[in-house]
Structure 1
């Protein structure tokens, strides 16, 4: 399993509209091949900073499947207008699991 973590920066004054847009995008991720789950977290210490977590079966499910799909274009049309800078995206995979999620 691969975890995509995208750091998203928005104008804090537009938070409500941004969160509504991300909520409307949930079905896009649900329909994406190889997508196992997604969540959005607000960074408490930094207004306007969010982290999108998406679980993928494989790296290619994200980079070759989703990123080249109509779903990705729909996601960017919903959320992209709120970004004040380009998202920073990293991928990780578990190497040690202690406990919890």
Structure 2
């Protein structure tokens, strides 16, 4: 299991609209092959900064299967208009947890 972490900067003042767009996009992620869950976190110190955390079975489920899908195109159409800059994405795996 890996976690995609996307740091997303939103145009200030459009946070509520962005959160609504992500809520509409949740079924696109949850219906994607290899997706095991999604969380959206908003920064306290920088309220226009979010971290979208998506749990995938493998990196390829994200980078190949999802990014090449209609679901990804729809996600970007819903959320992309609120991006102040392209998201910064990385993949991590847990090395310690409880």
Answer whether TM exceeds 0.5 for this pair: yes
Q: What corresponds to 2:34 in structure 1?
A: 34
Q: What is the CA distance between 1:15 and its match in structure 2?
A: 1.1
Distance in 2, Cα, partners of 1:95 & 1:15? 32
Q: TM-score, normalised by structure 2?
A: 0.97
Q: CA deviation at 1:30?
A: 1.1
Deviation (angstroms), 1:12: 2.5
Higher helix share: 1
- Look up the match of 2:76: 76
In 2, Cα distance between the equivalents of 1:63 and 1:53? 14
Uncovered stretches (5+) of structure 2, i.e. residues with no partner:
none
What's the secondary structure of 2:64's corresponding residue? helix
What secondary structure does 2:13 align onto?
helix
Q: Map 1:5-24 onto structure 2 (within 5 A).
A: 5-24=5-24
Report how far residue 47 of structure 1 moved: 2.1
Question: Which position in structure 2 is the counterpart of 1:45?
Answer: 45
Q: Which runs of 4+ in 1 moved over 4 A?
A: none
| Count of residues in correspondence between the two structures | 98
User: After the TM superposition, which residues 59-74 of structure 1 pair with which residues of structure 2 at under 5 Å, given as runs?
Assistant: 59-74=59-74
Separation in 2 of the partners of 1:3 and 1:30?
A: 14
TM, length-normalised to structure 1 = 0.94
Can you give the 5+ residue segments of structure 1 that lack an aligned partner in the other structure? none
